[in-house]
Structure 1
Amino acid sequence: MNVTDTVEIKNGTGIRRKRRLWLKIIGGIFGALVLFAGIVFIVNVISKGVEKKKIEPYGQYVAVDGKQMNVFIQGSGEQTIVLLPGQGTPSPVLDFKLLIDELSPDYRVVAVEPFGYGLSDKTEKARTTENIVSEIHEAVQQLGIDRYILMGHSITGLYGVTYVNSYPDEVLAFAGIDSSVPNQPGMDVKLPLKSMQFLQQSGLMRLLQKVSGDPYAGLDYDEHTKEQVRLITNQVGSNATLMDELKHLGSNFKNAELLTYPQELPVLLFVQSNNEQNKQWVPLHEAQVKQSAQGLMILMEGSHYLHHTKYKEIAAEFKAYMKKIQPFE
């Protein structure tokens, strides 16, 4: 055996040793990731069971389509406001708490938690606009309410325009809180629904929420309310009903893009003035209020969740608007 052969053998042995070392390192990293994922999953399952017992019921249940839908009623005013949430809001009632407290001295406020939200049941029925609107209407009927003002945040702008056209003899006025516009651009995007469900079911979403901080920090919600929202968020987030609503988001917008508010319906829109992602946000709402003979747009600087910080202003402006418009028949 010559020197060259000896060197080749040593080199081959060295390469195999390095390969085995790298395989051990990669195997170790993979094993650590599997262990970490397993711990996160188990902690999530155990935590959800413990947290579910800590959730304090609120509101009352009404029977809708053979299931239970949660509604919360506060105030005893002559006129009723039916309050609807933005898409994916875990606990609509608690999220609207500050605004409800401001409105309820003068109005009866009925906050509805659609299926999949808050304390309401989930449903396997497709989350089309028609089904969602029909279910909310059935809940309102179960409460014996036949004339009311429809108010809501974000996605309510999409569902609301269908609602007021479906039940024109019931809805007295519409008030949107940075509400969606049926013809707004970019709503045909494909969302990573499976990834979102994986994050929730694996427990990684809980971990991300833990390290990202409290979204209600610095707001006027009391600590007990914030804790209850956190508990409900961990139970509700990315459930199958909400995921199906997101699945139908593009088609729901597409089907409603030509819908407008009835001219005789009073329409009040509170609109975020500083929406940097959509430069057409204000013009889109300007066009909407012109559909109503008594339309009014009020610009407010803040986040998309205007009612988190501008709840006093929203309530005051809403009350002033309701006094100005023509009396209801």
Structure 2
Amino acid sequence: MKLVEQHKYPAIGQYVQIENQRMHIYTKGNGPNTIVLLSGLGTVSPVLDFEPLINEMSNHNRVVVLEPFGYGWSDKTDKKRTVEHIVGELRSALQQLNIKGPYVLMPHSISGIYSMYYAHEYPEEVKAVVGIDATLPAALAYFNESPPAIPGYMRYAAPIGLARLAVYLDGSAYLPLASEGAYSDENLAMTKAMTAWNGYNKNVIQEASELGDNVRKTAQMSFPSDIPVLFFTRDDGRVSEDGRSQFTFLQTQLTDHPSSTIFPLQGHHYLHWTKSKEMSETVLKFLKDIKDKE
């Protein structure tokens, strides 16, 4: 079944070779900015998941989606999922395709940690950072939380057929919580098939187990003060007993650039499922503001 599905749904982007493994990259659109979308932990296919946001933002800019090893149509790797390896592989893919920076990094969720490392280590390659409810390394200490974890046994979900059974029993549970028409029918069919053959594979489990160390490596880092940042965050009204909220935390992460700002939205952690149009319009204004202040 897996081989049939993989033949039925071939990669929609292109591959680059990184240490004898194939990484899948999808690009769409042209424009003055190159926006690099980076996905959250366990997102089966970033290319498919970001579809509405890609379609909106590619009308005015070049949008690039990199699928790390273990995600989407990319191969799996035996390399540890350290922040150094993950960022190094992403940089190598961009360089091989001659996609030149500086980039607008747009991380969702856990990729906020990788974007922090990228911007801190290679600031000349980063024009701006736009977080989609992004997890930033200092947040765990701020809220006294532990990194999210995925049980190791989940790596067997796809190989022994549990993922396929789960998708068969309730396929909608593995699809974006978006209004009808936000995602194409072909996209939803591919998402379900890919969940069945590739969900919670060894690289995703390894990445989750490495999060503690990746956070420790980046916890004292900050975005360079001259790099503009825009944080999309969920406006869910939650505040801790001592008055701490995601908004108050993000205020501590704003840089000195005059364009840096926080934009609350009502929605799911995957804000792009329902807010892609609003997000795209806000990013356009943000990038125009940066240019006006250059």
Same fold? TM cut 0.5:
yes
Asked if 1:233 corresponds to 2:195, the answer is: yes
**1:104-253 to 2 correspondence within 5 Å?**
104-144=58-98, 145-185=100-140, 186-188=145-147, 191-194=150-153, 196-214=154-172, 215-216=175-176, 218-219=178-179, 220-253=182-215
Q: Is the 8 A contact 1:72 1:111 kept in 2?
A: yes
Identify which of 217, 222, 234 aligns with 1:272: 234
Cα gap change, 1:275 to 1:254, in 2 (>3 Å): farther
Q: Per-residue deviation at 1:232?
A: 1.5
Distance 1:85 1:319 in 2: 20
Superposed CA deviations along residues 6-32 of structure 1, whole A, max 9, x for unmatched, are xxxxxxxxxxxxxxxxxxxxxxxxxxx
Q: Per-residue deviation at 1:328?
A: 8.1
TM-score under structure 1 length normalisation: 0.80
1:320: which partner in 2?
285
Asked if 1:85 corresponds to 2:39, the answer is: yes
Identity between Structure 1 and Structure 2 (%)? 37
Q: Which amino acid aligns with 1:198?
A: Y
TM-score under structure 2 length normalisation: 0.89
Q: Is the 8 A contact 2:164 2:197 kept in 1?
A: no
Asked if 1:305 corresponds to 2:290, the answer is: no
Distance 1:226 1:127 in 2: 28
Cα gap change, 1:52 to 1:79, in 2 (>3 Å): same
Q: Which amino acid aligns with 1:256?
A: T
Identify which of 216, 221, 224 aligns with 1:254: 216
Q: Is the 8 A contact 1:85 1:152 kept in 2?
A: yes
2:261: which partner in 1?
296
2:69 match: secondary structure: coil
Which stretches in structure 1 are left out of the alignment for 5+ residues?
A: 1-46
Cα gap change, 1:306 to 1:105, in 2 (>3 Å): same
Q: Per-residue deviation at 1:191?
A: 3.8
Q: Which amino acid aligns with 1:88?
A: G
Distance 1:275 1:49 in 2: 46
Q: Is the 8 A contact 2:24 2:66 kept in 1?
A: yes
2:22 match: secondary structure: strand
Q: Is the 8 A contact 1:56 1:228 kept in 2?
A: no
Q: Per-residue deviation at 1:319?
A: 0.2
Distance 1:312 1:78 in 2: 19
Q: Per-residue deviation at 1:251?
A: 1.3
Distance 1:277 1:210 in 2: 38
Q: Is the 8 A contact 2:167 2:192 kept in 1?
A: no
1:235 match: secondary structure: helix
Asked if 1:101 corresponds to 2:49, the answer is: no
Distance 1:274 1:228 in 2: 31
2:23: which partner in 1?
69
Cα gap change, 1:217 to 1:178, in 2 (>3 Å): closer
Identify which of 211, 225, 234 aligns with 1:263: 225
1:285: which partner in 2?
250
Q: Which of 1 and 2 has greater Rg?
A: 1
Q: Is the 8 A contact 1:148 1:170 kept in 2?
A: yes
Q: Going by fraction, where is helix more abundant, 1 or 2? A: 1
Q: Is the 8 A contact 1:187 1:249 kept in 2?
A: no
1:231 match: secondary structure: helix
Q: Per-residue deviation at 1:285?
A: 1.6
Q: Is the 8 A contact 1:200 1:237 kept in 2?
A: yes
Q: Per-residue deviation at 1:254?
A: 1.9
2:138 match: secondary structure: coil
Q: Is the 8 A contact 2:235 2:266 kept in 1?
A: yes
Which stretches in structure 2 are left out of the alignment for 5+ residues?
A: none
Q: Which amino acid aligns with 2:114?
A: Y
Cα gap change, 1:89 to 1:189, in 2 (>3 Å): closer
Distance 1:157 1:265 in 2: 15
Q: Per-residue deviation at 1:182?
A: 0.5
